[in-house]
Amino acid sequence: MYTSETFVRVRYGETDQMGYVYYGNYAMFYEVGRVEALRQLGLSYKELEDDGVMMPVLENHSKFLLPALYDDHLKIVTTIRDKPGVRIQFNYSIFNADGKLLHEGHTLLAFVDKKNGRPCRPPQRFMDVLKPYF
């Protein structure tokens, strides 16, 4: 299992009239956590795309527990619980600065060959950096 932590501060434009983070912005927080989790492994989305592999989102699930508020300092914990195949699931837990769990969710992505648009296995270097965690 691989886990990483990323921190973001809620910007005013990410909130609604109540001062709560607008529900649609959690998908963006997921992306931030996912991209930074890969970066912490020594990979980037750009490198994967340069290698001919895209990772479109197939599913996006959210569970809202408590509201995140304007100017909150959030910790996004991103976890890969299972060794990826043609698909990979990222799990997210979002905490405020007091350590309260605000939100949970997960996304399911596929590895897709850029040339033909078909599902493919993850690149070998992707699997190599994840190997110590599984």
Q: Structural domain of residue 70, as residue ranges?
A: 2-133
Residue 68, judged by CB atoms within 10 A of its CB (0-12, 13-18, 19+), counts as buried
* Per-residue pLDDT tens over the stretch 7-52: 999 999 999 988 999 999 999 999 999 999 999 999 998 999 998 9
- CATH label of the domain that carries residue 11: 3.10.129.10
Concatenating the DSSP letter of every residue in 92-115 gives EEEE-TT--EEEEEEEEEE-EETT
What is the mean pLDDT of the segment spanning 58-80? 97
Total of domains in the chain: 1
